[in-house]
Amino acid sequence: MCQVEEDYNGLECNQEKIPVPGLNRKCMKCKEGTAVLIIRVSDAFCRSCFKEYFIHKFRAMLGKNRVIFPQEKVLLAVSGGAASCTMLSQVQEGLSRDAPKKLRFMPGILYIDDGGACGRSEDERQASISQLKNIFTQTGFPYFIVPLEKVFSLPTSVLVPGTSDPDPSNPCYKQAVDEYLKGKQKLGEEEAVGAVAQLNLEDSAYSSEHKLALQRLFSSLKTLTAKQEMLQTLRQHLILHVARENNYSKVMMGDSCSRLAVKLLSNIALGRGAALASDTGFSDPRFGDVVIVRPMRDYSSKEITFYSRMFHVPSVFIPGLDTKSYDKASIQRLTESFVTNLQADFPSTVSTIYRTSEKLHTVRPPQSQSTEAEPASKCLLCLCALDTTADKASAFHATLISEQLSQLRLQKGSVDPTVESSNQCCVEDQTCGTSGCCSSNRTPVQQDPKALLCYSCRLTIKDMAAVSTLPPYILTEAEKRQRRSQMKVEISEYLLEEDQD
């Protein structure tokens, strides 16, 4: 950013002011109607042109990327906010009969009730659910309302990346569209519309044990930054499970341009630089069989707010973890405040950060270029590729050595030498004999899942008071992966390398 005292071409920066637009300004598109809103300095729209511009941008984003195929089941993750509800209204309008370029996929709606993690009462949660039910019912789409407490009953298969089909190219997409149009002429328009008119509601009840387990989990997290990261991870796992259980191959998220700009900077501060392309890109294929899609990433929060207010898009305000918190309460909250305040003085801040995120790409390690990547090469929580396999000259390796030395110094005076000698036995109790082995008398050592996490998820787990408060499917998968890696080390001398005949 330029300094106030510096001169550029004989003009000082503090003397350049943005011209204030007049009240009788004409629309920049039709040149006839009176502008009712100004998105940017020179972009003034009337009511009808702004609606046309908003709808065209949404469908152009889907048509340009060609990720969603005709008759494909797409799950819309709606949080109740303005961005996700506007995304829902765009899909609803795109599937209507009067749409000029009609959408061809089959949508479903998912809402995850995270009120138990945010400290909301039961009455407040039920009031928000009833309001969202009215919105979902009017669309006619099948919808699911799932509480966050359901993560304590998820299977371990959620953390295993599914097998994905090859990346669809343009001829394959065109062929799928042609086949859909031919089938549509045979089946008729009425059957295609009636296929999405069914309603499916998942029971939103949860047990008291799961509610207490969720409260213990978030109370064990020391900082608000770690709580927000854990909440995002659990929501992602629950969305993935619902999509797989109901055969949805795509999931639409309502992340706007402003939200992604904040997410990019906060993820860099949280050590997620290796996963920026997946976290902020249009499509996120990290899960394999389910692809995350962000069709609202070209809209700023200002555009979404204007559209939802002008065309009466219903939304529900639901308080989150950082509601009414001060700016320095968490890294995410501080980054949001920084970007928002900077955007007020420099209107191109969000767009500059957003355009930078479009140029990012994920570098695949050599071992992940095979057809099926091993689950051990993925992070246990975020399912991104592990970024901890760095050489000894890296900053991560130096940080890891410092942590190990500090832990050894703290544990040096509290370790019993008899316990150390008893731990030098075999790994699995079932492989030991009944006599001559000391492993039957020692207690099982608690597993540490940090070795299975990426750098950012390690920081989140580091802020936990007790790792045992994690959901059972995470602990079970961690134990399974550690046993497999330990077994691989034991039989490594009997295995053939890939380059050997």
| Gap between the Cα atoms of 380 and 482, Å rounded | 11
pLDDT reported for residue 486: 84
**Confidence check: pLDDT of 435 > 80:** no
For the chain, state the CA radius of gyration. 26
| Of 242, 286, 295, the residue nearest 109 (C-alpha) | 242
**What distance lies between CA 125 and its chain's CA centroid?**
23
| Gap between the Cα atoms of 381 and 217, Å rounded | 15
Strands 37-38 and 73-77 come out as unpaired
**Confidence check: pLDDT of 335 > 90:** yes
pLDDT reported for residue 246: 92
Range from 2-6, 37-41, 332-336, 393-397 that averages highest in pLDDT? 332-336
328 sits in which H/E element: none
User: 18 in helix, strand or coil?
Assistant: coil
| Gap between the Cα atoms of 373 and 255, Å rounded | 28
pLDDT tens-digit map of 465-493? 989 999 999 999 999 988 888 888 888 77
Any idea what DSSP says for residue 37?
Answer: E
**Confidence check: pLDDT of 384 > 50:** yes
For the chain, the average pLDDT equals: 79
Find the mean pLDDT for residues 91-108.
Answer: 84
215 contacts: CB under 8 Å, gap ≥ 6: 116
| Gap between the Cα atoms of 427 and 186, Å rounded | 63
**Confidence check: pLDDT of 166 > 70:** no
pLDDT reported for residue 13: 46
Confidence of residue 101 (pLDDT cuts 50, 70, 90): confident
Contact 491, 305 (CB under 8 A): no
**Confidence check: pLDDT of 256 > 80:** yes
Residue tagged 């729209």 (tokens): 45
pLDDT reported for residue 32: 85
Confidence of residue 288 (pLDDT cuts 50, 70, 90): confident
Confidence of residue 409 (pLDDT cuts 50, 70, 90): low
Strand partners, 143: 109
Contact 282, 65 (CB under 8 A): yes
Please indicate whether residue 272 or residue 439 has the higher confidence score (pLDDT): 272
404 contacts: CB under 8 Å, gap ≥ 6: none
pLDDT reported for residue 174: 56
Please indicate whether residue 41 or residue 453 has the higher confidence score (pLDDT): 453
Please indicate whether residue 260 or residue 172 has the higher confidence score (pLDDT): 260
| Of 190, 206, 90, the residue nearest 145 (C-alpha) | 206
| Domains defined along the chain, listed by start | 66-364 (3.40.50.620)
Strands 44-45 and 37-38 come out as antiparallel
| Gap between the Cα atoms of 73 and 75, Å rounded | 7
The model's pTM is 0.80
Any idea what DSSP says for residue 288?
Answer: S
Find the mean pLDDT for residues 180-195.
Answer: 46
- Other beta carbons within 10 Å of 441: 8
Confidence of residue 33 (pLDDT cuts 50, 70, 90): confident
**Confidence check: pLDDT of 326 > 70:** yes
pLDDT reported for residue 19: 52
Q: Give how far Cα 446 sits from Cα of 259, 475, 483, Å.
A: 39, 11, 13
Give first-to-last CA distance, the chain, whole Å: 59
**Confidence check: pLDDT of 438 > 60:** no
pLDDT tens-digit map of 189-206? 443 333 333 344 445 667
pLDDT reported for residue 169: 44
| Gap between the Cα atoms of 301 and 282, Å rounded | 17
Q: Give how far Cα 16 sits from Cα of 4, 42, 215, 374, Å.
A: 11, 16, 53, 57
Any idea what DSSP says for residue 152?
Answer: G
Please indicate whether residue 337 or residue 41 has the higher confidence score (pLDDT): 337
pLDDT reported for residue 3: 52
- Other beta carbons within 10 Å of 120: 18
